[in-house]
Chain A
Amino acid sequence: MSIEEKLKILADSAKYDASCSSSGSKRKAKDGLGIPSFSGICHSFSSDGRCISLLKILMTNCCIFDCKYCINRRSNEVKRAIFTPEEICEITINFYKRNYIEGLFLSSGIIKNPDYTMNKLIETISLLRNKYHFNGYIHVKAIPGASNYLLKKLGSLVDRISANIELPTHNGLKLLAPDKSQDKVTTIMQTIKENQNKNFVNAGQSTQMIIGATKESDLDIMKMSSFLYQNYKLKRVFYSAYIAVNKDNLLPALKMPPLKREHRLYQADWLIKYYNFKVTDLLDKNNPNFNILLDPKSNWALRNLHLFPCEINKASYNDLLKIPGIGPKSAQKIISNRRYYTLEYNDLKKLGVVLKRAKYFILCNGHYFMNKTYFSPNFIETNLLLEDQSIKIQSKEQLSLFNE
């Protein structure tokens, strides 16, 4: 089999992993090729609009597991291939020198047993680091069920390790991935958290959940991810809209992946990580799912309208963050500028603050953007929906999602 054919098979099987970030590593580069970049660099964007930063491949797509949702499951009849360590190194180095990529994201199906697979991964990475003197970013997917000492060995070689939790509840995992268990995944996370330092998984760990393959609500998903953030200090939880690659009675038959739902989950994830929101602020038992039509923050603000309108020139940093349409960057700009002068609507525009949503929730120097008698939940909700409506009309594919 030619290298090109192998690459085709093994990149194709790896593409469903959402993670492609190359950021967050402060590892000091030794003599050799490349440096990790703290902010991360996108090298290209594929036609699905996703960033290509790393050479995302599997070492092999042969697998002894039979997870229902996975394209590489044992019972699927697909072409199988294996890369040798040297082949992976050669491609990585040559791509890196031509500035195609920022590093390697290596994952693998499980051959023989977890320890054997893990050993193969370690062999590849140490060859890349020690023989080819590669200092770029390396992200490796840990193999659940492999021995702890192997995980520690791997961790000392790479910038990021991830282990996918796949589904938010035990039952879901038992149903769709009988060979995996949450305990095995959280054991990996625990080990990495305990050992993390500047030479061990410097860029932290991440995980991924599949959205829409089982019946869990958004509340279940958000509870799981905030549990993971708190207990294992994860850098990222990725959400991956379920794409039907296999046919199985246990799986839903979706025509289109639930992209909008995935988007809402990312928005909420951000709110919890960077905006000091709690899961219970956004969702509760009566509303276990996000409003598909309105983003989580606007939704929250509409339910807590007694906190608004908020005076831009006086509000604290935390209060500014709670205004829909205003993020950490805008909030910081507002604070650093209002020390010198009183901010009006025009000044906000000059600062680059997006007023599309924010204008309904703020006062500038005592003024509402129109007659203040309009400040009411109905008026604001209608207008926010109209703003979104114009976007929906522009992309018809998204619209078909709602009709289903």
Chain B
Amino acid sequence: MNDFNIYLYDGSFYNLLNTIEILIKEKIKPNNIINEKYYINDLLSNVYKKTLKTDTLFAQKLKSISLRFYQIIYDVYLSNDQNKELIIYYFILNGLKYGAKIVYLRKLKCVNKALNISHYVHNEVHKLKGFVRFQKLETNFYLAYINPTNNVLEYLAKYFKKRLATESWMIYDIKRNLLSIYTNNKYIIIEVADLEKNKFKFSDDEKIFANLWQTFYKTIAIKQRTNKRCQMNFMPKKYWSYMIEMSDKIAKDNF
């Protein structure tokens, strides 16, 4: 018998918390916790699934420790980190031990990692608040495509609900096939496989304003101050392909 123990959860936040609660109660140290969608069967490890529960009882308990603590757990869950589940497990384990001051104990590896990841996630949210580009459809819906490293769609939807309250819009995360649709003061997030751009007809004035924006973008730069490195530092290339003022530069670079 080897003792490499893997625990599966269904991919949802609450199921992950419930799984971790049980592991902590039973004093099990998992070798890994994996989203069952991404689990590839191997014969060398023992695989368990502890619970199907998705209730929020344990989440409430974590919230009562400190809201910031809970927020960080959620941020790590949204991140793209390979070991995020294990980081959350140890973060919670220590959180239960130390209480609210846990968010200052950077000496602990899991705390340091969790805080860094949370910072990284919020950084990306902030960047995308600016870099998301909507295109107007014939139906007066505004549509944007994003390809973020972390799963930040929910944060973005919350923000654009306030910013574009009077409009109807959709944001599509092409990596995760998640679509958030907002109309009449409500937004939902659903899974949609392959939302192709070609299917949509854009409104008549879309091209006019996109052109105006590109003209403005080119004009506003001061030649004598050109500093491409500075530009790239603030606006990493991975975001360029969905920004209309930059997308033509990507095409040129590839040739």
Contacts and interface: CB of A to CB of B under 8 A. Distances in A.
Interface in B53-76: none
B176 interface: no
B119 to A, nearest CB: 8
Contacts of A215: none
Interface string B123-160: 00010011111111000001010000000000000001
Contacts of B217: 44, 46, 52
Contacts, number: 145
B25 interface: no
B162 interface: yes
Contacts of B116: 352
Nearest to A98: B134
A300 interface: no
Contact of A41 (B130, B210, B211, B219): B130
B216 A7 contact: yes
Interface stretch (B5-13, B44-52, B79-87, B226-234): B226-234
A97 B164 contact: yes
B129 A350 contact: no
B225 A340 contact: no
B232 to A, nearest CB: 8
A41 B129 contact: yes
Among A33, A52, A98, A336, residue most surrounded by chain B Cβ atoms (within 10 Å):
A98
A343 to B, nearest CB: 9
A43 B222 CA distance: 17
Contact of B220 (A11, A39, A49, A133): A11
Interface stretch (B26-34, B88-96, B103-111, B191-199): B103-111
Given A95-B209, A97-B167, A41 B215 contact: no
A35 B130 contact: no
Nearest to A243: B224
B190 interface: no
B130 A43 contact: yes
Nearest to B167: A97
B130 A16 contact: no
B166 interface: yes
A219 to B, nearest CB: 25
A80 interface: no
Given A15-B220, A33-B166, A35-B162, A98 B142 contact: yes
Interface string A167-182: 0000000000000000
19 contacts: A7-B219, A8-B219, A31-B165, A31-B166, A37-B129, A41-B129, A43-B131, A44-B235, A45-B235, A52-B217, A91-B212, A94-B209, A97-B136, A99-B133, A99-B160, A257-B224, A259-B225, A340-B101, A350-B107
Interface of B: 101, 104-107, 112, 116, 126, 129-136, 142, 144, 160, 162-167, 205, 209-213, 215-217, 219-231, 233-235, 243, 245-246
Shortest Cβ-Cβ A-B pairs, 10 listed: A49-B230, A46-B221, A49-B227, A48-B225, A43-B130, A11-B219, A45-B235, A41-B130, A98-B134, A49-B231
Given A44-B131, A48-B231, A49-B231, 9 more contacts: A7-B219, A14-B220, A16-B222, A43-B130, A52-B220, A55-B216, A98-B209, A340-B107, A347-B106
